[in-house]
Amino acid sequence: MRKVAIVGVGMTKFGEEWSRGYRDMLIEAGSRALADCNLHGEEIDAIYVGTMAPGSLVGQEHTGALVADFMGLTPVPATRVEAACASGGAALRTGYLAVASGAHDCVVVGGVEKMTDTPGNEVASALGGAGDQEWELFMGASFPAIYALMARRHMLEHGTTEEQMAQVAVKNHSNASKNKFAHFQNEITIETVMKSKYISSPLKLFDCSPITDGAAAVVLMPLEKAKRYSQMPIEILASAQASDALALHSRESLTSLRATQVAAKKAYEMAGLKPADIDVAEVHDCFTIAEIMAIEDLGFFEKGKGGKAVEEGKTAIGGEIAVNTSGGLKGCGHPVGATGVKQAVEVVWQLRGQAEGRQVNGAKIGLTHNVGGSGATAVVHIMKRAD
């Protein structure tokens, strides 16, 4: 297996992008990534696009060919990768494996979703298909309800409070306010979160990530070639993926995501690192309880201590480990197919020292954590600035 590096990154503004379509956003993100490393189209060997539900949301399938066509890259092979909300992370892993194996020397990985053109009930239905459609969605268990069950159990077993969950939202909005690409660029208070309406108790409006449009892209190459294209290539030290039962009722635990734990263990072993070595992490906070569970399952804090860690500022920039400096899904937004790639873009910026007003001082090692559905898929990557 060859060592693999990210040499170029790019993304669009996340938000309610009424003036841009699905293909426009992905082409913009891809063009920015190519420009970031001065790469020309004829040098690209393959394209992988993470996207969850374009057929349901915008009526477009066959998105790999769409990208190759409208970026003027035919006949380069282009493939769609789908793993629900982990589609971006899975696309990144697919691209990584293609380069590491020697199958390709230059791969572009993109992620995209156009969500706001579709009525909210149809978006909820499309997203609900990422769980068990027959046993959950058909019975009325949407993702807010499913994560609310996790939250209730976490509160019961570990004493986690609604205020601690609210603190996740406050932190991530604060980080997003310093990110020009973020969906939400306003700070909020604990009071704002606590007074917002319940969506599915104990989760309130400000505990939930928004419906978002956006795209992100990265360029991958063998590490040995990377410095020809980038003065600051970022090596992918580890890429790991794991799965679990699709439906929540079939899981071993309601307060842990086994797929995250397994993927994280494999990634740490592959990188030769431990959780304490990570300086900055982008984790999957589709709901505030999800971030608390993630920082526990990734080994940053003991099980049951995640809420307290957030409350004490240990996950803030300048804390023990900076979590979701981009604003996370909660603040930066969650265009589902793009999220896993956006996480990689943010970590690259952090490791390059290019994260502007949200920079983590001395960041050397970064981690991304992307979840599909309510935890049936988890993808973890670990990265460092190449020596």
Q: Give the pLDDT confidence of 328-352 residue by residue, as tens digits.
A: 999 999 999 999 999 999 999 999 9
What backbone phi and psi angles, to 5 degrees, belong to 156?
A: -70, -45
Predicted local distance difference test score (pLDDT) of residue 136: 87
Predicted local distance difference test score (pLDDT) of residue 78: 98
Q: Which of 234, 269, 294 is the last residue of a domain?
A: 234
Rounded to a whole number of angstroms, the distance between the first and last alpha carbons of the chain is: 19
Q: Are residues 283 and 351 in the same domain?
A: yes
CATH number of the domain encompassing residue 260? 3.40.47.10
Q: Are residues 189 and 221 in the same domain?
A: no
Q: Are residues 10 and 57 in the same domain?
A: yes
Predicted local distance difference test score (pLDDT) of residue 124: 87
Q: Are residues 15 and 148 in the same domain?
A: no
Predicted local distance difference test score (pLDDT) of residue 141: 87
In a domain, 38, yes or no: yes
Is 85 annotated in the active site? yes
Domain carrying residue 187:
132-209+237-385
The active-site residue out of 183, 334, 369, 381 is: 334
Predicted local distance difference test score (pLDDT) of residue 73: 93
pLDDT at residue 200 tops 90: yes
Q: Are residues 23 and 77 in the same domain?
A: yes
Q: Are residues 227 and 247 in the same domain?
A: no
Q: Are residues 165 and 76 in the same domain?
A: no
Q: Are residues 53 and 108 in the same domain?
A: yes
Share of residues in the chain with pLDDT > 70 (%): 100
Cis upstream peptide for 233 (omega within 30°) = no
Categorize the per-residue pLDDT at 57 as very low, low, confident or very high, splitting at 50, 70 and 90. very high
Average pLDDT over residues 119-142: 88
pLDDT at residue 387 tops 80: no
Categorize the per-residue pLDDT at 52 as very low, low, confident or very high, splitting at 50, 70 and 90. very high
Categorize the per-residue pLDDT at 304 as very low, low, confident or very high, splitting at 50, 70 and 90. very high
Count of structural domains within the chain: 2
Do 75 and 106 touch, CB atoms closer than 8 A?
A: no
Q: Per DSSP, what are the bridge partners of residue 213?
A: 15
pLDDT at residue 125 tops 90: no
Q: Are residues 59 and 164 in the same domain?
A: no
Predicted local distance difference test score (pLDDT) of residue 384: 98
Predicted local distance difference test score (pLDDT) of residue 140: 86
In a domain, 220, yes or no: yes
Q: Are residues 16 and 81 in the same domain?
A: yes
Q: Give the pLDDT confidence of 4-32 residue by residue, as tens digits.
A: 999 999 999 999 999 999 999 999 999 99
CA distances from 32 to 12, 140, 295, 325 (A): 9, 41, 31, 21
Tokens 């993927």 appear where? Answer: 263
Q: Are residues 217 and 250 in the same domain?
A: no
In a domain, 126, yes or no: no
Is 334 annotated in the active site? yes
pLDDT at residue 59 tops 90: yes
Burial class (CB within 10 angstroms; exposed 0-12, middle 13-18, buried 19+) of 90: buried
Q: What is the DSSP string of 191-243?
A: HHHHHSPEEETTEEGGGBPPP-BEEEEEEEEEHHHHTTT-SS-EEEEEEEEEE
Categorize the per-residue pLDDT at 36 as very low, low, confident or very high, splitting at 50, 70 and 90. very high
What is the average pLDDT value for the chain, to the nearest integer?
A: 96
pLDDT at residue 194 tops 80: yes
The active-site residue out of 37, 85, 208, 332 is: 85
In a domain, 63, yes or no: yes
Q: Are residues 180 and 289 in the same domain?
A: yes
